[in-house]
């Protein structure tokens, strides 16, 4: 009797990331973000707050007692804020769309390494069809197409290359319904030292590529009447930074472009427009090769964001089928308010953050 052989196991290639650094001391994990998460899930959560008056009532504390009244008032306030927050999200971003992962096709720009590779890995392991667009190839000697994650060598700053890849993706995987615009480069040079071609390349990769991909893939999403577009910007787009003029200007352009995209979809008469969701990602300093060597002024107040944590948040938001914003770490949520502060206060904050000094030291290390 012939023996049965097992079918060859299909593997999904996940690009290798740089080797992990030695584990930092335990106290570096104690950050304001961690404390905020703990408080939001305990003392600042309505369910937890209502346990206080219920516990007091369980030991027969009268309603007239001050402790009982204060606990009820506190729980009621948190409940009201929770309800208002829900309606705020609903008014701002509308209802979530249904996610059918057997029909979804994900396109990720700059996905051959770093944050993009992590997001591609998350979806690839789940069997979701993923197309990665990057000027870099996968590891030499390995096939570019591996399992449900397919790699396309493409300069997303070139509209013709994006259109050519889009046609190939349609043939290979189907109509893309999730677009994650992640590709970015950095020069870390003074304005006086930036060459015109460097500025142009930064804008092509960091900003114009978003126009190319949206103009190429959005029509298909409208045709399918479902889709999600993720814009990876930066908090530096709100405040600028010394020796990053081209980078921060391109990221500021993304903030305006994303707002305009949301407005156009909201006012569009196309029947598929309401089901096109948009997600804005504005992280602080990431622990990636782009910003290797930069020192955060305070690990407690301004921790460096680990790419895997940001990737999880992006995947969670996309999976929810909702529009929204991903801002990490905690201080990133308050950065937009920086521009409305008095100029003197802004200067004090910039001096305390030492962001400009950090970039200057990074530039010196690179000899730029």
Handedness of CA 43, 44, 48, 51 (dihedral sign): positive
Instruction: For residues 54 and 2, give the distance between their C-alpha atoms in angstroms, rounded to a whole number.
Output: 70
What pLDDT does residue 147 have?
Answer: 54
What pLDDT does residue 55 have?
Answer: 94
Structure tokens at 129: 């069809």
Non-local (6+) Cβ contacts of 304 within 8 A are 284, 285, 286, 287, 296
What pLDDT does residue 356 have?
Answer: 74
Stated pTM of the model: 0.85
Q: Name the residue among 196, 112, 187 with its Cα closest to residue 155.
A: 112
Q: Where are the domains of the chain?
A: 33-93, 105-366
In the residue annotation, 251 being an active-site residue is answered as yes
What pLDDT does residue 293 have?
Answer: 57
Class of the CATH domain delimited by 105-366 = alpha beta
What pLDDT does residue 78 have?
Answer: 96
What pLDDT does residue 363 have?
Answer: 58
Task: Kindly name the residue from 86, 247, 277, 366 that is annotated as catalytic.
Answer: 247
What pLDDT does residue 357 have?
Answer: 73
Instruction: For residues 165 and 20, give the distance between their C-alpha atoms in angstroms, rounded to a whole number.
Output: 33
Q: Name the residue among 116, 149, 140, 169 with its Cα closest to residue 13.
A: 149
Mean pLDDT, 10 residues at a time, the chain of 368 residues? 40 47 67 89 94 94 94 96 94 92 95 91 92 80 58 94 96 96 91 94 96 97 96 93 92 97 93 94 82 66 88 96 93 88 87 73 55
What pLDDT does residue 364 have?
Answer: 55
Handedness of CA 46, 49, 54, 55 (dihedral sign): positive
In the residue annotation, 150 being an active-site residue is answered as no
Instruction: For residues 147 and 213, give the distance between their C-alpha atoms in angstroms, rounded to a whole number.
Output: 24
Beta bridge partners of 181: 231
> What is residue 33's DSSP assignment?
H
Query: Mind giving me the DSSP string for 312-343?
Result: HHHHHHHHHT--EEE--SGGGGTGGGGGGS-H
Query: Mind giving me the DSSP string for 65-126?
Result: SHHHHHHHHHHHHHHHHHHHHHHHHHHHH-PPPP--TTT-EEEEET-SSHHHHHHHHHHHHT
Task: Kindly name the residue from 152, 251, 347, 365 that is annotated as catalytic.
Answer: 251
Please, what is the angle between helix 209-224 and helix 245-267, to 10°?
Answer: 20
């Amino acid at each position: 009797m012939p023996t049965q052989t097992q079918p060859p196991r299909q593997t999904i290639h996940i690009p290798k990331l740089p080797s992990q650094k030695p584990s930092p001391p335990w106290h570096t994990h104690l950050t304001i973000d961690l404390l905020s998460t703990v408080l939001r899930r305990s003392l600042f959560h309505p369910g937890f707050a209502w346990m206080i008056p219920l516990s007091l009532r369980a030991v027969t504390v009268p309603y007239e007692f001050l402790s009982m009244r204060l606990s009820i008032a506190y729980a009621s306030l948190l409940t009201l804020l929770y309800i208002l927050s829900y309606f705020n999200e609903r008014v701002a971003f509308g209802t979530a769309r249904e996610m059918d992962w057997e029909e979804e096709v994900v396109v990720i720009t700059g996905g051959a390494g770093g944050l993009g590779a992590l997001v591609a890995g998350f979806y690839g392991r789940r069997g979701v069809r993923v197309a990665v667009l990057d000027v870099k190839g996968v590891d030499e000697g390995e096939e570019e197409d591996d399992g449900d994650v397919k790699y396309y060598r493409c300069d997303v700053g070139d509209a013709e290359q994006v259109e050519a890849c889009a046609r190939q993706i349609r043939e290979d995987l189907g109509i893309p319904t999730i677009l994650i615009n992640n590709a970015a480069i950095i020069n870390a040079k003074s304005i006086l030292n930036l060459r015109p071609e460097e500025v142009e390349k930064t804008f092509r990769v960091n900003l114009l590529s978003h126009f190319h991909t949206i103009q190429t893939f959005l029509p298909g999403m409208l045709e399918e009447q479902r889709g999600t577009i993720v814009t990876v910007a930066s908090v530096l787009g709100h405040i600028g930074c010394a020796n990053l003029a081209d980078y921060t200007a391109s990221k500021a352009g993304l903030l305006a472009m994303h707002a305009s995209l949301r407005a156009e979809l909201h006012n569009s008469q196309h029947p598929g427009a309401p089901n096109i969701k948009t997600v804005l990602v504005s992280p602080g300093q990431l622990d990636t090769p782009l910003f290797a060597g930069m020192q955060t002024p305070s690990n407690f107040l301004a921790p460096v964001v680990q790419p895997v944590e940001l990737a999880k948040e992006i995947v969670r938001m996309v999976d929810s089928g909702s529009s929204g914003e991903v801002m990490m770490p905690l201080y990133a949520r308050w950065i937009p308010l920086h521009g409305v502060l008095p100029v003197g206060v802004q200067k004090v904050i910039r001096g305390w953050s030492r962001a400009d000094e950090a970039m200057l030291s990074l530039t010196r290390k690179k000899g730029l």
